[in-house]
Amino acid sequence: MKIAGFDWDAGNWPKCAKHGVSKDEIEYALFHDPLIAPDPAHSGPEDRYIVIGRNRQGRPMFMGVTFRMVDGKRLIRPITARYMHAKEVKRYETQRSQTENR
């Protein structure tokens, strides 16, 4: 899926920023080998996705996103983002190693 950029505004940026992550960290994690899964529990008129990735320093992050078409371009709209807790990191590492060994 070709992505043209990000859809940031006053609606989604404050929700992401309140957890101490930066736009740069979110954008980096989303473009560098993230794990993406559908999030049917939070989907409605738009499909939502759970994304797990890492910032430039390698710190694992959890994100919720949707994809939107704006002016004919497909954009990623981050909905929430935060650093992962230790238990989540362990589960992520296990899942990642299983995925890579396939």
pLDDT digits (tens, 9 = 90+) for 42-101: 999 999 999 999 999 999 999 999 999 999 999 999 999 999 999 988 887 787 777 677
pLDDT of residue 65: 97
What per-residue string of b and e applies to 43-66 under the rule 16 or more CB within 10 Å gives b?
Answer: eeeeebbbbbbbbeeeebbbbbbb
Concatenate the DSSP letters of all residues of 13-43 into one string. HHHHHTTT--HHHHHHHHHSS-EEEE-TTT-
For residue 80, give the H/E element and its range: strand 73-83
pLDDT at position 40 over 80: yes
Model confidence, pTM = 0.85
3-class SS of residue 89: helix
For residue range 13-37, what is the model confidence (pLDDT) as tens digits? 999 999 999 999 999 999 999 989 9
